[in-house]
């Protein structure tokens, strides 16, 4: 693996950026043996704020932080990047769905996808956070035809972490007992957090919890609507937990931490047709990562009619989003 590693972050002066950058620079994301060059990308009105963020990063005196580049130029920002974290985009406000942002945020990912294909390292990996994340990743991937499709992912790890937190709270067990939590579909209110295959202490979560009504009801809706609940309470969308989930996503994918044997994690990745989902659609699946930049969609997960119905509804929403941005693909 490269040392130092070049990490480009868009929207670096935003809320998520503020919670994320110290965790990259400290080595939590990519390993304590890997130096990092941060290439921070913003739009011109946010460059002053970005300079302030960079001053703070310097003042943290992180031993692994080799250099910081600040720019509003995509070619400079993605030059030689080994990892591109596409965070910069407008967040939704109270009463909005993430999909409402699609026409405003979608075009951002055309230029970014192109620039990544042109100037980033040949081995670059991309994780999209800006909403609607799945479809923005689809736009970036479609704008970068020279790069293998599987390099483009969108983050649903926050949804997985939310589901794990709900299960651990209900079962009264340590978080580390909860495994095999798969998020299927869109990072939206239609997502399906699969409780039927989740395990607690190695046993089916359903058996441990013993309350199917709760799992089908409060559990599902709490996870699906957690983002909106945070906006309602905080007046701003999640940032600390989003940054933390991105650390998890990248650490497991390419930061040296392969998925433990028998477990899986959730990532939105281009479908390869698995489970009958349209090839190329960026859909959240249970995946197994190798910690070195590779992953595979877990095959043979048993899905009940209930689960299939939920997944189909979320995939249908992704297909609709794809139609709304057809001109950008």
Hey, which residues does 35 pair with through a beta bridge? Answer: none
Residue 153, Cβ density class (10 Å: 0-12 exposed, 13-18 middle, ≥19 buried): buried
Closest approach of Cβ 91 to ligand LMR, in Å? 6
Say if strands 5-10 and 36-41 run parallel, antiparallel, or are unpaired.
parallel
Which residue reads 């649903």 in tokens?
156
Site size toward ligand NAD (CB under 6 A) is 29
For the bound state, the minimum distance from the C-beta of residue 329 to ligand LMR, rounded and expressed in Å, comes to: 22
Q: 162 is in the binding site of which of ligand NAD, ligand LMR, none (Cβ under 5 to 8 A by kind)?
A: none
- Return the residue of 31, 99, 106, 130 that touches ligand NAD, per CB under 6 A: 130
Nearer to ligand LMR, 49 or 228 (CB): 228
From 318, 274, 270, 273, select the one nearest 298 (Cα to Cα).
274
CA dist., res. 139 & res. 148, Å (int): 14
- Using the rule CB under 6 A, is 129 a contact of ligand NAD? yes
Q: Does 41 bind ligand NAD (CB under 6 A)?
A: yes
Q: Which of 6, 114, 187, 251 is an active site residue?
A: 187
Q: Which does 301 bind (CB under 5 to 8 A by kind): ligand NAD, ligand LMR, none?
A: none
Q: Which of 5, 120, 124, 133 binds ligand NAD (CB under 6 A)?
A: 133
Please state, as a whole number, how many other Cβ atoms lie within 10 Å of the Cβ of residue 61.
Answer: 8
Binding partner of residue 134 among ligand NAD, ligand LMR, none, CB under 5 to 8 Å per kind? none
Residue 187 a catalytic site member: yes
Of positions 27, 31, 91, 182, contacts ligand NAD by CB under 6 A: 91
C-alpha 156/C-alpha 145 separation (Å) is: 24
Positions that interact with ligand LMR (CB under 6 A): 91-92, 98, 131, 158, 227-228, 230, 237-238, 242
Q: Which does 230 bind (CB under 5 to 8 A by kind): ligand LMR, ligand NAD, none?
A: ligand LMR
Strand partners, 6: 37
Q: Are 39 and 7 in contact (CB under 8 A)?
A: yes
Cβ distance to ligand NAD smaller for residue 84 or 220: 84
Q: Choosing among ligand LMR, ligand NAD, none, which partner's interface includes residue 281 (Cβ < 5 to 8 Å by kind)? A: none
Q: Which residue is nearest to ligand LMR (CB)?
A: 227
Q: Which residue has the tokens 């009105």?
A: 45
Rounded to a whole number of angstroms, the minimum distance from the CB of residue 110 to ligand NAD is 10
The answer to whether the CB of 209 falls within 8 A of the CB of 200 is yes
User: Quick one: 115 exposed, middle or buried, by C-beta within 10 A (0-12, 13-18, 19+)?
Assistant: buried
Q: Which two tokens stand for residue 31?
A: 């390993």
267 binds ligand NAD per the rule CB under 6 A: no
Say which residue the tokens 């600390």 belong to. Answer: 240
And the tokens for 268? Answer: 């939105």
φ, ψ for residue 283, nearest 5 deg:
-125, 145
Q: Kindly write out the interface string for residues 192-211 of this chain, putting x where it contacts ligand NAD by CB under 6 A and - elsewhere.
A: --------------------
Report in angstroms the alpha-carbon separations of 63 from 9, 25, 217. 20, 8, 47
Binding flags for ligand NAD, 227-256, as an x/- string (CB under 6 A):
----------xxx--x--------------
Residues that bind ligand NAD (CB under 6 A): 10-11, 13-17, 41-43, 46, 87-92, 108, 129-131, 133, 155, 158, 187, 237-239, 242
Residues designated as active site: 187
């Amino acid at each position: 693996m490269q040392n130092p590693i070049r990490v480009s972050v868009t929207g670096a002066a935003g809320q998520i950026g503020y919670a994320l950058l110290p965790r990259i620079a400290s080595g939590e994301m990519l390993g304590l043996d890997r130096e990092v060059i941060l290439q921070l990308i913003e739009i011109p009105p946010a460059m002053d704020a970005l300079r302030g963020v960079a001053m703070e990063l310097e003042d943290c005196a992180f031993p692994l932080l080799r250099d910081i580049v600040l720019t509003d130029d995509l070619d400079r920002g993605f030059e030689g990047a080994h990892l591109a974290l596409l965070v910069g985009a407008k967040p939704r406000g109270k009463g909005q769905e993430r999909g409402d942002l699609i026409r405003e945020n979608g075009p951002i990912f055309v230029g970014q996808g192109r620039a990544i294909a042109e100037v980033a390292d040949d081995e670059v990996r991309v994780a999209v956070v800006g909403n609607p994340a799945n479809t923005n990743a689809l736009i970036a991937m479609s704008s970068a035809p020279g790069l293998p499709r599987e390099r483009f992912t969108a983050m649903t790890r926050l949804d997985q972490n939310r589901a794990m937190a709900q299960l651990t709270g209900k079962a009264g067990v340590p978080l580390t007992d909860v495994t095999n939590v798969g998020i299927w579909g869109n990072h939206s209110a239609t997502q399906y957090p699969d409780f039927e295959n989740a395990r607690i202490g190695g046993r089916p979560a359903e058996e441990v919890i013993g309350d199917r009504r709760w799992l089908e009801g409060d559990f599902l809706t709490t996870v699906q609507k957690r983002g909106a609940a945070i906006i309602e309470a905080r007046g701003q969308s999640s940032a600390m937990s989003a940054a933390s989930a991105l650390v998890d996503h990248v650490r497991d994918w390419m930061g040296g931490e392969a998925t433990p044997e028998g477990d899986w994690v959730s990532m939105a990745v281009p479908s390869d047709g698995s489970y009958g989902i349209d090839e190329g659609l960026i859909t959240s699946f249970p995946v197994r990562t190798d910690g070195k930049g590779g992953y595979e969609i877990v095959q043979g997960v048993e899905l009940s009619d209930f689960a299939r119905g939920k997944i189909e509804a979320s995939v249908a929403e992704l297909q609709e989003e794809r139609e709304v941005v057809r001109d950008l693909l």
